[in-house]
């Protein structure tokens, strides 16, 4: 009897595997994902049935609006192509940090990623134009500039890096967190060891503020904060709260010093190989999912702030004077980098910001 049950179970498993059409084996062959990542990766469409497979990765975790946006992208693409394109989503840097994922796209070994624009400046110096401190006064102006002429021009520059840029999503206004003391004015940056993104303008700006900055990939950050390798970091409240940085950081200040967009990237070799009809679906899905992502990202800001306070963070609201002082202090950095970015582009973005108000 036992033997019969065993045989039936085996038969059932064999049939099940056959029905999956070799899906699992192809997954492990060409995906760099760890076992855990592969398990967590979601795909409603059996990749075996799909003509194309998109592996889409982000750096933030599954709680973050960035991931909800990615799931929206998947939903639209799979529905509109009737499953001809399957989208596998990976969060938390499971396929590598922003820079690594971008390199995988260039090589064609991954199809989609949505990095912060700051590390893109290592590939295309003009991208540092978005890193000018205190450039955007609010999200609406950011949308207008990013979705307008300047933003489009920057998307087109990705082509020469074997990448296709389809839309800007939102990371958001960056705020300071640290484990030492409240940051209320410039003086409080003095000597603080701060992790920055891998971006020269960010590094120079924090040096100018008197801090001791170190560039580091996001995937290394939590451990570095926990072990005290750095005292602090800066990211939007959504990230500070949802990534649990407040477990190892006691102080948060709403400096809003830089607005970071995310940029939705597709591997150019992959995109070029898609039929025009599918290219259009992928393009509009990236835009539509981005609109949704921006919306939910903004909705929850108050909630994240309250969440941080409820969980014991000492939250400092920066005074206008302190912000003005920071803005003045980093002016030489903006000057210096305007050369590298290109004076014309810098003027153009300032003009676009003004026009959008
Ligand atoms: C996530 C990063 C992150 C960024 C950073 O991959 O590195 O601090 O703000 O959101 O893109």
Q: Which residues pair with 253 in a beta bridge?
A: 176, 316
In a domain, 243, yes or no: yes
Output the residue whose Cα is nearest ligand 1's atom 7: 218
Instruction: Determine the 3-state secondary structure of 121 from DSSP.
Output: helix
The token duo for 126 is 């003009």
Given this model, what pLDDT does residue 336 score?
97
Per-residue pLDDT band for 98 (boundaries 50, 70, 90) equals very high
**Beta strand 259-267 with 112-113: parallel, antiparallel or unpaired?**
antiparallel
**Mean pLDDT, residues 194-218:** 98
Q: Which residues of 93-109 are buried (b: 16+ CB within 10 A; e: fewer)?
A: bbbbbbbbbbebbbeeb
Distance in Å, CA 218 to ligand 1 centroid: 6
What contacts 24+ positions apart, CB below 8 Å, involve 298-303? 298/139, 298/170, 300/65, 300/238, 301/172, 301/237, 301/238
Distance in Å, CA 236 to ligand 1 centroid: 9
Place of tokens 């940090």: 97
Given this model, what pLDDT does residue 33 score?
39
Q: Report the alpha-carbon distance of residue 233 to residue 252 in Å, rounded.
A: 10
Pocket test of ligand 1: the residue of 98, 259, 263, 293 to mutate, having most ligand atoms within 8 Å of its CB, is 98
Q: What is the pTM of this model?
A: 0.88
Per-residue pLDDT band for 46 (boundaries 50, 70, 90) equals low
The answer to whether 283 touches 166, Cβ cutoff 8 Å, is: yes
Distance in Å, CA 234 to ligand 1 centroid: 10
The token duo for 163 is 């990448």
In a domain, 1, yes or no: no
The answer to whether 70 touches 229, Cβ cutoff 8 Å, is: no
In a domain, 30, yes or no: no
Nearest in space to 252 (alpha carbons), one of 188, 327, 190, 314: 314
The answer to whether 174 touches 258, Cβ cutoff 8 Å, is: yes
Q: Which CA distances in Å does 101 have to 58, 223, 260, 279?
A: 8, 20, 18, 21
Closest atom of ligand 1 relative to the 234 alpha carbon: 8
Nearest in space to 109 (alpha carbons), one of 23, 31, 41: 31
**Mean pLDDT, residues 300-323:** 97
Distance in Å, CA 297 to ligand 1 centroid: 14
The token duo for 28 is 């492990």
Q: What is the CATH number of the domain that holds 173?
A: 3.40.190.170
In a domain, 250, yes or no: yes
Per-residue pLDDT band for 36 (boundaries 50, 70, 90) equals very low
How many independent structural domains does the chain possess?
1
In a domain, 49, yes or no: yes
Given this model, what pLDDT does residue 108 score?
97
Nearest in space to 172 (alpha carbons), one of 101, 241, 84, 247: 241
Cα of first residue to Cα of last residue in the chain, in angstroms, is 78
In a domain, 154, yes or no: yes
Q: Which residues of 303-341 are buried (b: 16+ CB within 10 A; e: fewer)?
A: ebbebbeeeebebbebeeebbeebeebbeebbeebbeeb
Given this model, what pLDDT does residue 49 score?
82
In a domain, 167, yes or no: yes
Nearest in space to 117 (alpha carbons), one of 107, 108, 125, 106: 125
- Residue 149 sits in which domain range? 35-356
In a domain, 14, yes or no: no
């Amino acid at each position: 009897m036992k033997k019969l049950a065993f045989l039936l179970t085996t038969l059932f498993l064999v049939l099940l595997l056959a029905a999956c059409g070799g899906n699992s084996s192809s997954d492990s062959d060409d995906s760099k994902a760890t076992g855990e990542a592969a398990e967590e990766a979601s795909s409603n469409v059996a990749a075996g049935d799909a003509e194309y497979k998109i592996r889409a990765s982000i750096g933030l975790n599954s709680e973050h609006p960035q991931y909800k946006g990615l799931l929206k992208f998947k939903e639209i693409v799979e529905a509109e192509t009737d499953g001809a394109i399957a989208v596998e989503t990976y969060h938390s840097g499971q396929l590598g940090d922003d820079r690594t994922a971008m390199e995988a796209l260039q090589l064609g070994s991954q199809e989609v990623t949505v990095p912060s624009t700051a590390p893109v400046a290592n590939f295309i110096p003009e991208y540092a134009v978005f890193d000018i401190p205190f450039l955007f006064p609010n999200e609406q102006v950011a949308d207008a500039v990013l979705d307008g002429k300047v933003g489009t021009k920057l998307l087109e520059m990705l082509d020469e890096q074997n990448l296709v840029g389809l839309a800007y999503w939102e990371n958001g206004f960056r705020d300071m967190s640290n484990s030492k003391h409240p940051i209320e004015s410039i003086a409080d940056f003095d000597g603080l060891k701060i992790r920055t993104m891998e971006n020269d303008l960010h590094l120079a700006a924090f040096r100018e503020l008197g801090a001791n900055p170190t560039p580091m990939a996001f995937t290394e950050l939590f451990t570095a904060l926990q072990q005290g390798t750095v005292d602090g970091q800066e990211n939007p409240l959504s990230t500070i709260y949802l990534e649990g940085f407040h477990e190892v950081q006691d102080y948060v200040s709403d400096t809003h010093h830089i607005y970071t967009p995310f940029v939705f990237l597709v591997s150019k070799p992959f995109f070029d190989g898609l039929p025009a009809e599918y290219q259009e679906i992928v393009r509009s899905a990236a835009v539509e999912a981005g609109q949704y992502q921006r919306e939910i990202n903004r909705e929850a800001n108050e909630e994240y702030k309250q969440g941080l306070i409820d969980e014991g963070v000492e939250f400092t609201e920066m005074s206008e004077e302190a912000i003005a002082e920071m803005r003045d202090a980093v002016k030489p950095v903006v000057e210096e980098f305007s050369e590298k970015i290109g004076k014309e582009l810098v003027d153009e973005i300032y003009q676009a910001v003004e026009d959008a108000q």
